[in-house]
Chain A
Amino acid sequence: MSFLTTVIKEQIQNFYLIRRLSLYEMKSTNKNNYLGMLWELLNPAIQVVVFYFVFGIGIKQTEDIGEVPFFIWMIIGLLVWFFVNPSITQGSKAVYSRIKMVSKMNFPLSVIPTYVIISKFYPHVALISLTAIILQFTGYPISIYFIQLPYFMLSTVIFLIALSLITSTLSTIARDVQMLVQSLMRVLLYVTPILWSPYLHLPDWALTLMKVNPLFYLIEGYRAALLGDGWYIWSTYSLYFWGVVVVMLLIGSALHVKFRKHFIDFL
């Protein structure tokens, strides 16, 4: 438990540092492009168009998901994915690729994955806001369920931080973990309800199996919030999700605190 309090304390005490560093992080990733940070929006936009052609027109999934047209349903899932995917891959290499920059041992190393994730969070907020505005004019006006949105955004961030604490430590020790994470992310896109609906054809047991994935919870939560589709917070699924997050935080902070003094020796 003391590991966990160390890590959480560091996150809170260095909130200012995290915010500033995440801005530099965004700057340095987009510095080489003439369009700069506009790419943070352009990149997802291009992907949405491609996915629309493939799944909306090409394969043409005509069945709507409940009362929601497939395309709108898919876009919300993709928006979350555009945040989660780079956060997990970048988060897992956060420590070993940046520790040289830090150059001081008393630097609170546990904030490195956090600021990398927060740097992906800004474009996510921009994309979600944009989508929420568009939804106003396409038949999904703001409703009481909308207040779930901040909750799910925060939950996603906490989930990603917990996961990155584990992966960033392990990938510093063994670079193979980074490779593994990257391959698993490709699989994850297809076993998470993003591009296809699990409610239409899957037997119950398979659906339950898919729900083991915490991303299932987060993505369905975003949909419930943005489409005004009922309360997704009040369920035993929430309990499960937070159980998983707490366990991940415990493992992640224990690993991180145990190994961080020697991160520099692993380079």
Chain B
Amino acid sequence: MISYNGSERMTKSVVVKNVTKKYKLYKNNSDKLKDVFLSKEYGEDYFALRNVSFEAEKGDIIGFVGVNGSGKSTLSNIIAGIVPETSGDIEIEGKTALIAVASGLNNQLSGRENIELKLLMLGFNKQEITELEPGIIEFSELGKFIDQPVKSYSSGMKSRLGFAISIHIDPDVMIIDEALSVGDKAFAEKCLDKMNEFKEQGKTMFFVSHSLGQMKRFCQKALWLEYGEVRAFGPISEVMPQYEKFLKDYKAMNDLEKKKYREDQMAKRSQAQA
């Protein structure tokens, strides 16, 4: 655990220290079962994240970049408190909210019922829910569809609803995982406006996106993940050129080199049990 002195406490909002997330890969189901119930370890370790450390100040907007499978979503989920870390420490000032494309909506229930259910699960009482509901419905722009079952929604509509709920619960730390890439441009603009508003209020935001343009416009800092480890962390103006150069080099590789790169990546992250 980390402790702060008074002045630091004011500015740091998320401190991630040596966070590791290990998944187990099993050859078969019996290994999996043995691993749960026996003290000896079975299966092969796979490091989705390894020794990730960084700090975010209040009001920071940090973009997570990296190729597919580099651990961006795992890190988002851990910061949001959905997935537990295997080891390491995370300190967060205040409430977090994760906005992802598939953000746990109940398909059978209507949009309105989902709003109520979601808020209920987040610990709001009946009166607070009644107060928050109109704002959420308004922001989601779902119109008549708010009383239709969520299974009839398009993916854009779902992400709009998820986004609307998450920003209205007034989180201190927000994590946006690819959620804006399914919405149309107008809605994305609206969300970016809202996020700028949050930025002025001193909220911290994390942003996962493959749209580098969006990221450059919006984020001040970037965290580049590779093999589940931090390759670079710093102002966007420093990290982005490096990452773009890497992408260019990666694209320029021939198939054999790409394959080798991926295999190296795999080998680095997995580790068989002795």
* Candidates A28, A102, A261; contact of B109 at CB < 8 Å: A28
For B, the interface residue count at a CB cutoff of 8 angstroms equals: 23
**Contact B81 A104, beta carbon cutoff 8 Å:** yes
**Contact B36 A105, beta carbon cutoff 8 Å:** no
Q: Which of B79-99 contact A (CB under 8 A)?
A: 81-84, 98
**Contact A265 B122, beta carbon cutoff 8 Å:** no
Stretch at the interface among B64-72, B113-121, B206-214, B249-257: B113-121
**Contact A21 B83, beta carbon cutoff 8 Å:** no
Closest B residue to A29 by CB, please name it.
B108
* Candidates A17, A24, A264; contact of B82 at CB < 8 Å: A264
Closest A residue to B149 by CB, please name it.
A31
* Candidates A28, A173, A265; contact of B108 at CB < 8 Å: A28
**Contact B109 A106, beta carbon cutoff 8 Å:** no
* Residue A200 at the chain B interface, CB threshold 8 Å: no
**Contact B84 A264, beta carbon cutoff 8 Å:** yes
Known: A32-B108, A103-B103, A104-B122. 18 other contacts (CB 8 A): A20-B120, A21-B120, A24-B109, A24-B113, A28-B108, A28-B113, A31-B108, A31-B109, A31-B149, A100-B104, A101-B104, A103-B104, A104-B121, A106-B81, A261-B84, A262-B84, A264-B82, A265-B84
Q: Which residues of A are at the interface with B, using a C-beta cutoff of 8 A?
A: 16-17, 20-21, 24, 27-29, 31-32, 100-107, 173-174, 261-262, 264-265
What are 24 residue pairs bridging A and B, where the CB atoms are less than 8 Å apart in the complex? A16-B125, A17-B121, A17-B123, A20-B120, A24-B106, A24-B109, A24-B113, A27-B109, A31-B149, A101-B104, A101-B106, A102-B121, A103-B82, A103-B103, A103-B104, A104-B122, A105-B81, A106-B81, A107-B121, A174-B33, A262-B84, A264-B84, A265-B23, A265-B84
Per CB-CB distance, the 10 closest pairs between chain A and chain B, nearest first, are: A28-B108, A103-B104, A105-B81, A31-B108, A101-B104, A261-B84, A28-B109, A24-B117, A100-B104, A20-B120
